[in-house]
Amino acid sequence: MICHSTDHTFNNDLRSEGLTLVNFWATWCSPCRMFASVLEDFDATRRDGVKIVKINVDENAETASFYGVMSLPTTILFKDGKPVDKQIGYMSQEALAGWVSANVNSTR
């Protein structure tokens, strides 16, 4: 299930163990809206324990600023609560799966 986070809940929503994919987005961002369906499909089909967190940058500027989010969508992969990789822009289902898999394999 995709978790919708805020500045106030982000640290609790960020998994302290394992992988967490955090998507920074905005309602006015067309690529963000297209990527939302990719994330939903990814979440529905993946069984590797990757948690997905979405955070709206317009409503939660503090967290976006802390992680240096300058373009949308920005997706950051965290391992054990620490950022390990970042992608900027839309990704297809295949590109997202490949990116996560590459990081799963390299962080084990």
Which residues are known to be catalytic? 29, 32
**13, 60 in Cβ contact below 8 A?**
no
Strand partners, 52: 21
What span, in angstroms and rounded, lies between the C-alpha atoms of 46 and 55? 20
